[in-house]
């Protein structure tokens, strides 16, 4: 696995969708399980908590694959695209209610 992003979410009682709590980019990991564990630790440290699930209760792993000729720029574009898509999806759900 070349690089990935782990998105963390929190379910709120009475809300039909998960609220985004943040994301962590892992640039190098041997496999998805190691990437998730590294992201959980980094997320917890970033939020000043002992364990990641004190701030979130679920996560999504998005593999970005091997960077093409653009290198880091490609990864940044993919992250932006994914973030924009998630934001549009959240706005659609909010506007529907």
> pLDDT digit string (tens) for 22-62?
999 998 888 888 889 999 999 999 999 999 999 998 898 88
Instruction: Give the domain extent around 50.
Output: 4-96
State the DSSP code for 71: T
pLDDT at 23: 93
Query: What residue spans of 1-56 are helical by DSSP H?
Result: 32-47
Under the banding of pLDDT at 50, 70 and 90, the label for residue 87 is: confident
Domain count across the chain: 1
Phi and psi (nearest 5°) for 58? -155, 165
pLDDT at 68: 47
pLDDT at 54: 93
Q: Which residue has the tokens 């379910």?
A: 11
Whether pLDDT at 97 is above 60: no
Cα-Cα-Cα-Cα torsion 31, 33, 39, 45, nearest 10 degrees, comes to: -130
Please, what's the largest Cα pairwise distance for the chain? 45
């Amino acid at each position: 696995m070349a690089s990935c992003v782990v998105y963390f979410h929190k379910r709120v009682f009475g809300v039909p969708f998960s609220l985004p709590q943040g994301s962590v980019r892992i640039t190098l990991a041997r496999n998805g399980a190691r990437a998730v564990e590294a992201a959980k630790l980094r997320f917890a440290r970033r939020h000043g908590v002992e364990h990641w699930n004190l701030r979130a209760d679920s996560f999504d792993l998005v593999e970005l694959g091997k960077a093409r000729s653009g290198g880091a720029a490609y990864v940044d574009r993919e992250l932006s695209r994914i973030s924009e898509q998630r934001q549009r999806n959240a706005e659609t759900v909010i506007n529907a209610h």
